[in-house]
Structure 1
Amino acid sequence: MKRFCFRALVVTSLTLLVASLVNISADLESSLGLDTLFQIRGNQHPPTDVAIVAMDEASEHRLGVGQDLTRWRGFHAGLIRQLQKQGARLIVFDLQFIQPHPADDEALTAAMRAAGNILLVECVQKFRHGDQDFYGREECSDSNSRPAISREGDSNIELPEQLVAMRKVSPTPAIAAAALDRTPFYLLNDAENASVREIWTFFDALAETPSLPVLTWFYYLQDSGQLDGAKQPLSAWLTERRRACKTMIDQPQAETPLERQIDRLVCDGDSRYLNYYGPPRTLRMESYADVYEGKVTDLQDKVVFVGRANRQFSPGKSDFFQTPYSDSRSGKMAGVEIMATQFANLLEDRFLEIPAPTWLVSAAFGWLLALLLIRFTGWPGIVLSLVFALVYAGTAIGLFGQRHWWLPVAGPLLIQLPLSWLLSLAWSRYDLMRERGRMLAFVRRVFPQWVGMLPSAPGQWTEAGHFAPASTEKDVSGLCLATDIEGYTSIAAQHSPREMWTLLNTYYQVLGHPVVSHDGVIADVTGDAMMAVWFDAPATQQRRAACLAALEMATAVEAFNLSSSLAPLATRIGLHEGDLTLGSLDAGSSSHYRAIGDTVNIASRIQGVNKYLGTRILASHSIAAELDDIVSRPVGKFRVVGRTEPVTLVEIVGLKHCGDAQPNEVHGLFNDGLAAFQQGRWPEAANLFQAALTRDANDGPSRFYLEKALEFGEVPPLDWDGVVVLDGK
C-alpha cells in the first residue's frame, strides 16, 4: 500500500510540475484552455439593458467625418439630446475629450448638463523608460506622450526597466464639469496582440480609483433605487469605501445577495475574468448615424455606451482587441464592447470565477489519474484514465456553462494525462525488469545450472561468467501459501478438458499476479492447487507480503468468477511458516522445482480447514501476530489429519483502515464464545455463537462452533484440551 501511494504521489508531482512550468511559460491555461471553453459553450444572450452606439464605417460615411475623431465632436450634442429624448438611463462615452474644440464644446457641455446622466472615461497611460515606452488608447497616446517622469542631466540616459509610472489624463475642465462623473478605463495596447481575458475593476496604482464599468453599475443601482446611503460623486465614494476595506478588520456582515456582490467587488482583488457573451457584435449595437437621425426609438431605460466599434473589421484600426472568440471571420472586439461586457457581467453577477486554486484542482486530477493507472496497469488503466479524463472535461464544460466556474483543462488533459500514461508505462516496464532480475537472482542462488535456459534479452538474461558449483537444493526458513479450488472434481466433470484448460490458464494468471507483485515465488502448480513461497527476507516483511498477496488473490478470484461464463472457482488459501527445502526433483530425464517439507504439508492442511469454517484465508497465528495493518481474528486450535501437534489458526480478514477504530461486534462475540468453548462451558459458548450469528448469519466460524458446542453439550468429549480434531482434509 505504501509503495502504491508513493508511486501515485511521484506521478502526480511530476505531471503537476511539468504542467505548471508549461502554463507559466506559455500561458497555456488561458490561451488554450479558457478560449476552448468559450468556443465549446458558444454564445449566450446578453442582458437587454445594455446597448452600444457604434461609431462605425456607415456613420463615418453618412456624417462625413471619415476616420478623424476630432470631427465627431460636433455631433455628440445631438446624439445626447436624441438619447435623452428616448429616456436612456445612463450614457457612457468611451472617448477621451482631452483636446478642447471651442466651436463644438459649448453645445456639447450644454447637452451634457441638460441630460445629467453622462459618464466619461479618463485616459490611463502606463510608462516605462519615460517617453520611450508608454501605453494608452487612441488620442490619449497620440496627443499626450510627454514624459511622466522628469529626468535631470543627460536626457539620452535610458531609465531602468523596473521604473514604471501610471497617470490619468482627464477631459477638458469644461467637459469634465458638465459630466455626471468620470473615471478611467484601461486596456493593454492592442499592438501586443494579446487577448483581453482579465479586466480591471479598481486601479490600486491610481489611488484605488474604480474603473468606468464599475462606476456605471453603481450609478445604475442608485438610479434604480437599489443603492442607499451613497454620496455623489460615486467615484470618490467608491475610492473611500475600497480604502476602508483595507483598513477595517471587522466589517459589517452583508445580508442580501446584492450587498455580498458589492462587498466582493469592492474589497476582493482589483480585477475579474470577463465572461464574454460571444464574438464581436453579440451585444446590441446600433449605428451612431441611425441613433443620431432618430431611426432607433427603443432605447428607454437602457445603459448606452458610445464609442468606436466598426461593424466590419478593418485591419489597422486602433482600439480593437483580441478576445477568446476572435478569429479571421469575427475579427477583434472594440474597446467599447469590452467595456459594455464588463458592465453586463456586473449587471448579471456572472464574471468567471475560479472556485479553487488551479494547482489544487490539477493536483487532485493528477492524483486520481495516477491511482487509476497504477492500480490498473496496461491498457485497462489507460482506458479507465481516458474515461476519467472525459468525465472531468465534461464536468469542467458543464460548470463553465452553468456556474461560470473556470476549471483548468489544458494542463490536465494535454500535459498531465499523456505524461501520466508515459510514466505509468515506464514504471510497469521497470517492474517487469525488476521481476526478471529477481527471478534471475533466485535461479542463480538456488539453481545456477539453469541460468542458460532463461529467455534472453540484449544485455540481460545471459550467463555472465562461470558460477561456482552448487547443490540443486537449498534449505531456507520461509513462508508457504497453499491454495485449492473448492468442488474442483465436480466442476471438471461438467466441462471438456479444453474448456478446463482455458479456464485454469486464465485462473492461474489471476492467482499468480498478487504473488509476483509481492515478491513471492510460485513453487508448484498441480491440478487445482498452487503453492507459493517467500524466503530470504525479514520475517515480518515476508508475513506482510504473504497476507497482502492472499487478500489480493481472494479479491481477484471474486472478480474473475464474475467475469467467467463457466462455474465459479471458489478458492481457499492457507498460510504457514517454517523450514523449507527448495530444490529440483528428478523424474526420468526431466527435473521439477518443488518446495519440500512439513511446512508445505501444514499449509495445505490449513487451507483445508477453510472448508469446515466457511472462511477464505486461514493462517497459523504467528503470521499475523505483529502485523498492525492486517485485520485478523483467532479461530481456535485444530489437530489436522496426519499431525499430532495442534495448530493455532487465525482468519485473515482484510486491511485495517483509518475508520476501523471501533471493534467488530461479531468478532467480539465470537472471541468470547471461543474462550468459553475452549474452557468447556458449552451452553455459554452456544449462546455467544448464536448471538454472533444473529448479527451476521454468514459468519462461518460461529456456525461451525455453534454446532460443536451443541454436540459437546449433549456428549462432552473425553480429556478435553480445547483442540478441535478434524478427521478429513
Structure 2
Amino acid sequence: MINNRFSRALVIALVTAGVGYGIFYKTDLETARGLDALFKLRGSRTPPSEVVVVAMDEKSDTKLNLYSDLTEWRGFHTRLIQELQRQGAALIVFDLQFIASQPDHDPALAAAVASASNVLVTDCVQTPTSARDQCSKANKKTFSNTENGNQPAPSKSSIEWKRIPLNRMLRSAVLDHAPFLLSNDAENTVVREVWTFFNGLVEAPSLPVLTWFYYLQRSGALNGIALPKHLSLWLAEQRMQCPTSARQLKNSGLMEDNLTESIEEVLCSDDTRHLDFYGPPKTFRMESYSDVYEGKVGNLSGKVVFVGKVYRNDLSNREDNFDTPLMTTQTGRMSGVEIMATQFANLLEGRLITVPAWHSLILLVFCLLVGLVLTQFAGFTGIIISALLSGAYVGLAVWCFSSYGAWLPIAVPILIQLPLAWLIALLWSRRDLLKERKCILAFVHRVFPQWMPIPTSSKEWFPEINDETQARSERDVLGICLATDIEGYTTVAAQHTAHEMWELLNAYYQVLGYPVASHKGIIADVTGDAMMAVWIDLPAAKKRLGACLAALEMALAVEKFNETATTGCCLPTRIGLHEGDMTLGRLDAGEGSHYRAIGDTVSTASRIQGVNKYLGTRILASSGVVTGLDDVVYRPVGRFRLIGRAEPIELMEIVGLKADIDMTVYTLHQQFALGLNAFEQGQWEVAASHFQILLNQYGDDAPSLFYLAIALKYTKNPPADWEGVVTLTGK
C-alpha cells in the first residue's frame, strides 16, 4: 500500500515537474507573474542611505523657468555641481547626455566638473531597441551622414550599436562616462532587468557599474590594486579577460572575500541582471533640483547623487518613464534616473536578484511533496492540505526573496504544477472508482453464488417458467424490499485503494448477504455501498418475518464485523424496509442483460433507510412490514413525508425479538409514545416535557432527541396547518 502510494506520488511529481520545466524554460510566465508577485508580496524595503536622487521635476521647471528640452538646463548645472561639491558629495552622476556644444555654458560647466573631479555622465547609444533614445537631432544628423555630408545614411544594421561621444570640452573634464540603456520590448513593457556590460559596445560597462567601482575606489575598498585614471576602459578589459582577471583579483588578497565574490559575479556573469526594486517610484530620497541649486538641502556629504528628469506629479506615459513590478496607478511609472540609482544601490548592497542554481530541484521536490499529500489524503482533504503546503512554500519563497534576493519560482508551481497535480489525482481517483465498481460487480457474480441464489437469469426470477424461450422480460409482484447503505462510505473509500476496498467489501457483503439467504430472500442489486434484497413468492407473514429477522441479524453481524475487522475500518450500516408492488425484470444493456427489482417500493425502501440519519436509528420499516409480527419488538417513530413522495408514511423502528428485550425497553417505548402522541397533536410543550423526562430517566435516546429539538423549535414558532407529519427535505 505504501509503495503503491509512493509510486503514484512519484508519477504525479515527474509529470508535473516535466510540464513545469517546459513552461519555466520556454515561457516568461515565471518572470511576468512569479517575480512580480514576489515584489508585491514582499512590498517596499529601505534603500541605502548613500543614494540620493536630485530630480529635475515640475517644481524646478517652474522655479527656473525651464521646459522639457533637457539641453536648456545646462546653464544651471555649474552652480548645482558647485553646491554638491561644497557639501562633499562622493560622486555626482548625471543621467543626461552632453553631446552638442553650448559655447555660452560649456566653459564654466567644464571648469566646475574638473574642479569637482567626481562627475560621471551618460553616453548616448543609438540603437533601435533602446527605450532611451535621447541623442540630439543635430547629433543624429551628423551621425547619419559621412563627414562631407553627401553620402546616404547607413542601413539599420550598421547603426545597431553606435556610441555617440560627449562634446570635446566636457569629455576632458568629467571623471568618466558610460552608457545606460533600458530594453524596449513592445510585448512586455515592464522593466525587470538591466545591462551590466554591453557586448555590442566592446564590453563597455554600464554607468551604474562604473559608478560602483569608482565608489569602491574612493572609499578605499580597492586600495593596493593598480587602477588607471579612467576605470571604464579597465573594466571592459577585465570583462573580456574573465575569468582570469577575476581570479587574479581574488588571488591578490587585497580585498575582502565577499567583495571579491561580488566583483567576480559582476565582471563574469551575464550581460543583464534582474533588479531588486526597493519600492514604487519615489522610494529613494529625492530632492528637487531647484532646492539643491539654491542651497536649501543639506546632509549630502558622502552621498552618491544621481541627477535626472523625474515627473513627480504627471503620471502619464512620459518619455523616459517605465513600468516596474511595484508600479501602481497611484504612483505612476518610474523615471530612468531612479532605475539607474536602483542598479547602483543593488551593487552597493551586493544584492541583485539571483535564481538559485538548485531551482530545478526545488520544482521537483515541490511536485513530489504535493504528490505525496494527494496520494496520502484523497479527495477534498488532500486538496486542502496541498493548498496549505503551497501557501507555506510561497511564504518561504517570499522570505528568501525579502532576506537574500533569492528568486524561488512560485508562478509555475502554484499556477501550473499544483492544479495539474490536482487534475491527475482526480483522474486517478476516478479510475480507482471505476475499477472498484468493476470489482464489486465481479464480486456479485463470483462470490454470492457460493451460498445463495442470485437472480442472473429469468428462471430464477420466474421459477414457474421452465422453458427459457417462453420467459417474459418482466414480472409484477407484491413483496418486501430491504435497502442498506454504509454510513460514511465516501470517507472510507477515499482512504483506501480500489483493491483494499474490494477486499473489505468482499468480507462485508459476505456478512450482510448470509442473513438474506438464510431467510429466503434474494439479493437484487449491489452497487458500491448499497445492497438491495427482496422477499417474494412466500406467504405474507413469512415474507415480513423473514425480512425483519434478516434485518436484525444484519445489524448484529455488522456490529461484530466492525469490532473484529483487521483493517480497523468501521462500516456502520443503515437498513430500511418497505412492502409493496415491484416489477422484477430484465434490463437490456448492450450485449448483456441484467435482472433488477424496479418500482416505487424499491425507491421508498431506500428513502426509509435514509431516515435513520435523522432519527439516529439503524433499522426502520414502514408500518405494513411489521403487521402481524408478534415476536418482533418495534416502536412507532412517527409519520414522515419523504422526499419525492406526497403521501406521508408511518415508520417503525425494529428493535429486536421479544425474547431478547428487557422490560425497561417497553417502559421507554411507552414514555416515547406519550411524547409522540402529544407531538402529533401539536401540543409542543407537553411533547417536549415527555421527551425530556425520558432522556433524564433513560439517558440518550436518539429519536427522543430528534423530536425534542423540533418540539422546542415549534414552541417558539409553530407551523401553520399542522398535520402531525414531519416533512424531510433530504434523503
TM-score by length of 1: 0.59
Tell me which amino acid in the other structure corresponds to 1:47: P
Q: How does 1:10-89 map to 2 (within 5 A)?
A: 10-19=11-20, 27-89=28-90
Q: Deviations over 1:499-557 (max 9, x none)?
A: xx999998995899467249757543499999xxxxxxxxxxxxxxxxxxxxxxxxxxx
Alignment pair present for 1:219 and 2:220: no
Contact 1:280–1:333 under 8 Å retained in 2: yes
| Inter-partner Cα distance in structure 2 for 1:428 and 1:273 | 43
Q: Give the Cα separation in 2 of the matches to 1:385 and 1:508.
A: 18
User: What is the match of residue 599 of structure 1?
Assistant: none
Percent same amino acid at aligned positions? Answer: 44
Letter in 1 for 2:378: T
How far did residue 61 of structure 1 move? 1.1
Who is 2:234 aligned against?
237
Q: Give me the whole-angstrom Cα distance separating, in 1, the residues matched to 2:154 and 2:441.
A: 73
Q: Is the alpha carbon distance of 1:313 and 1:20 closer, same or farther for their aligned partners in structure 2, counting shifts above 3 Å?
A: farther
Quick one: which amino acid aligns to residue 382 of structure 1? Answer: I
* Contact 2:124–2:134 (Cα < 8 Å) also in 1: no
Higher CA-based Rg:
2
Partner of 2:135: 140
CA contact (8 A) 1:124 1:136 kept: no
| Letter aligned with residue 234 of structure 1 | L
| In the alignment, structure 1 residue 199 sits paired with structure 2 residue 194 | yes
- Residue 28 of structure 1 and its aligned partner are, at CA, apart by 2.4
CA–CA distance in 2 between the matches of 1:249 and 1:217? 16
Q: Is the 8 A contact 1:123 1:136 kept in 2?
A: no
Q: Shift in Å at residue 301 of structure 1?
A: 1.0
Match of 2:292 in 1: 291
Question: How has the CA–CA distance of structure 1 residues 508 and 397 changed in structure 2, closer, same or farther, with 3 Å as cutoff?
Answer: closer
Q: Is the 8 A contact 1:323 1:333 kept in 2?
A: yes
Q: Deviations over 1:665-690 (max 9, x none)?
A: xxxxxxxxxxxxxxxxxxxxxxxxxx
Q: CA deviation at 1:108?
A: 1.1
- Cα-to-partner distance string for 1:415-443 (whole Å, 9 max, x where unaligned): 22222212211110011112323443565
1:209 aligns with 2:204: yes
What code does the residue aligned with 2:122 have? V
| Secondary structure at the counterpart of residue 119 of structure 1 | strand
Alignment CA distance shift 1:95-1:527 (3 Å) = same
Which one is further off, 440-449 or 73-82?
440-449
Partner of 2:610: none
Does the CA contact (< 8 Å) of 2:121 and 2:177 recur in 1? yes
Question: What TM-score do you get using the length of structure 2 for normalisation?
Answer: 0.59
Contact 1:148/1:165 (8 A) holds in 2: no
Distance in 1 between residues matched to 2:428 and 2:125, nearest whole Å: 55
Mean Cα deviation higher: 195-204 or 278-287: 195-204
The change in CA–CA distance for 1:126 and 1:149 in structure 2 (over 3 A counts) is farther
TM-fit CA distance, 1:4: 3.8
1:516 aligns with 2:499: yes
| Amino acid aligned to 2:220 | G
Unpaired stretches in structure 2, ≥5 consecutive residues: 458-467, 469-483, 514-561, 568-731
CA contact (8 A) 1:202 1:208 kept: yes
**Secondary structure of 1:137's aligned partner:** coil
Partner of 1:419: 420
Gaps of 5+ in 1: 128-133, 454-465, 467-500, 531-567, 574-729
Query: Structure 1 443/224 Cα, relative in aligned 2: closer, same or farther at 3 Å?
Result: same
CA separation of 1:244/1:60 partners in 2, compared to 1, >3 Å: closer, same or farther?
same
Q: Residue 364 of structure 1: CA displacement?
A: 2.1
Structure 2: distance between partners of 1:505 and 1:350: 55
d(CA) in 2 for partners of 1:9, 1:512: 19
Contact 1:515-1:522 within 8 A present in 2 as well: no
Partner of 2:324: 323
Deviations along 1:105-128, one digit per CA (max 9) or x if unpaired, are 11111111111111111122334x
Aligned-partner residue type, residue 237 of structure 1 = W
Q: For 2:274 and 2:153, how far apart are their aligned partners in 1?
A: 40
SS of residue matched to 2:30: helix
Q: What is residue 180 of structure 2 aligned with on the other side?
A: 185
Are the structure 2 counterparts of residues 450 and 99 from structure 1 closer, same or farther at C-alpha, using a change threshold of 3 Å?
Answer: farther
What does residue range 303-314 of structure 1 map to in structure 2 within 5 Å?
303-314=304-315
Inter-partner Cα distance in structure 2 for 1:324 and 1:504: 53
Instruction: Give the SS at the match of 2:433.
Output: helix
Distance 1:328 1:26, change over 3 A: farther
One-letter amino acid of the counterpart of residue 361, structure 1: I
Q: CA deviation at 1:19?
A: 4.4
The Cα RMSD (Å) is 4.0
1:190/1:320 contact within 8 Å kept: no
Matched ranges for 1:684-723 at <5 A: none
How many residues align? The count is: 483
The alpha carbon displacement at 1:352 in A equals 1.8
Which residue in 1 is equivalent to 2:632? none
Kept after mapping to 2: 8 A contact 1:443/1:451: no
Cα distance 1:197–1:316, how it changes in 2: closer, same or farther (>3 A)? closer
> What code does the residue aligned with 2:216 have?
L
Q: Distance in 2 between matches of 1:169 and 1:286?
A: 30
Give the letter for the 1:338 counterpart.
I
Contact 1:190 1:318 in 2 (8 A): no
Q: Secondary structure at the match of 2:104?
A: helix
3-state SS of paired residue (1:140): coil
